[in-house]
């Protein structure tokens, strides 16, 4: 991120909280550039994109977009939709799993509700031999998310979590999860966090990414290297090769739908397992804003849609 990008990133994430911006983007965004990052609004649209991704050789992680749900009934409905989705993967034999946010299934209401809903999703996935991952949200959720991961891990081995390399605490969190041979996705982190919890300097975020990656790959478990950064990807490939970690079975690369597509294809051609994270649903606004903030150049791409029709 350049010195110019950082304030721009803050401005985009701040604008995401503005009601007028939210209303305008929600109204027109899908017709402008949002489809580059989101498979569509319905499960049918998602399934078509997932089938096409599988046909090209990519594994898929599906996410029903949404977060911070404050209504108990709605969390039950979202849980039900995830279970239906997992059953349709099994029926079609799709190479797909799910990743969801705990605040989508009740973490803002009550941790016990989130645990209960998450257990149902993990149990539905276990029936068809699929994994489930809980995304990592803002730093205030990390303790509760890791606690729920541990509680689920006592009963299931098909559940994984995420660590963000921008957080100072992540190295310790990884160290304490290692005895569980965890399924961990490593990301840089997508939220605006204060300097008392997160490295403000991108170089430190990257160095910590490398440290987390090397630690995870050096221990039992499964590592999802989730980044579009060619330097991180090259390092993961070289480190794994040097340590004799096979290209399949111990780790995979993960990328977001619509980003770095060429790099994803190259990794497939080189024999790696690559999973595309493909989101869908009506509540795509915060997701889109995070993608725009990560790379403010996307804003130009997005707005161009308004003038090219």
Nearer to ligand FAD among residue 20 and residue 200 (C-beta):
200
The answer to the question of residue 170 lying near ligand FAD (CB under 6 A) is: no
Give the total of residues touching ligand FAD (CB under 6 A).
Answer: 23
Single residue of 184, 217, 226, 278 touching ligand FAD by CB under 6 A: 226
Is 133 marked active-site?
no
Q: Which of 47, 256, 267, 274 binds ligand FAD (CB under 6 A)?
A: 256
Stretch that binds ligand FAD, among 11-19, 139-147, 170-178, 253-261 (CB under 6 A): 253-261
Choose between 75 and 164: whose C-beta lies nearer to ligand FAD.
164
Residue 189 interacts with ligand FAD (CB under 6 A)? yes
264 part of the interface to ligand FAD, by CB under 6 A: no
Nearer to ligand FAD, 103 or 227 (CB): 227
137-156: contacts with ligand FAD (CB under 6 A): none
Question: Binding to ligand FAD by residue 298, rule CB under 6 A?
Answer: yes
185 is annotated as an active-site residue: yes
Nearest CB to ligand FAD, comparing residues 79 and 165: 165
Quick check: 103 binds ligand FAD (CB under 6 A)? Answer: no
Q: Which of 108, 135, 173, 206 is catalytic?
A: 135
End-to-end CA distance of the chain: 31
Q: Least Å distance between CB 97 and ligand FAD?
A: 12
Tokens (6 digits) for 28 = 């027109």
Total number of residues shown for the chain: 309
Name the 3-class secondary structure at 126. Answer: helix
Residues carrying an active site annotation: 135, 185
**Which residues of the shown chain bind ligand FAD in the complex (CB under 6 A)?**
135-136, 162, 164, 187-191, 226-229, 254-256, 259-260, 277, 291, 294-295, 298
């Amino acid at each position: 991120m350049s010195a110019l990008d950082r304030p721009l990133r803050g401005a985009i994430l701040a604008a995401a909280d503005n009601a007028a911006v939210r209303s305008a983007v929600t109204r027109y965004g899908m017709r402008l550039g949002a489809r580059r990052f989101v498979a569509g609004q319905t499960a049918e649209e998602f399934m078509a994109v997932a089938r096409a991704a599988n046909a090209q050789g990519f594994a898929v992680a599906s996410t029903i977009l949404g977060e911070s749900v404050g209504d108990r009934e709605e969390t039950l409905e979202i849980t039900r939709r995830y279970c239906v989705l997992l059953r349709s993967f099994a029926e079609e034999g799709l190479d797909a799993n799910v990743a969801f946010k705990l605040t989508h299934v009740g973490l803002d209401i009550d941790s016990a509700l989130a645990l209960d809903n998450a257990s149902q999703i993990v149990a539905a996935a276990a029936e068809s031999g699929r994994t489930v991952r809980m995304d990592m949200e803002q730093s205030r959720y990390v303790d509760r998310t890791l606690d729920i991961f541990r509680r689920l891990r006592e009963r299931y081995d098909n559940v994984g979590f995420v660590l963000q390399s921008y957080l100072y605490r992540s190295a310790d969190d990884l160290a304490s999860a290692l005895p569980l041979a965890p399924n961990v996705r490593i990301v840089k982190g997508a939220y605006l966090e204060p300097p008392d919890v997160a490295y403000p300097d991108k170089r430190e975020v990257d160095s910590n990414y490398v440290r987390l990656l090397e630690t995870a790959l050096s221990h039992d478990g499964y590592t999802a290297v989730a980044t579009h950064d060619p330097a991180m990807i090259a390092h993961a490939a070289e480190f794994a090769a040097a340590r004799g970690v096979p290209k399949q079975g111990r780790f995979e690369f993960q990328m977001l739908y619509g980003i770095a597509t060429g790099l994803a294809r190259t990794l497939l051609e080189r024999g790696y397992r690559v999973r595309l994270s493909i989101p869908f649903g009506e509540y795509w606004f915060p997701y889109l804003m995070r993608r725009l903030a990560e790379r403010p150049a996307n804003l130009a791409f997005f707005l161009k849609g308004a003038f090219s029709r």
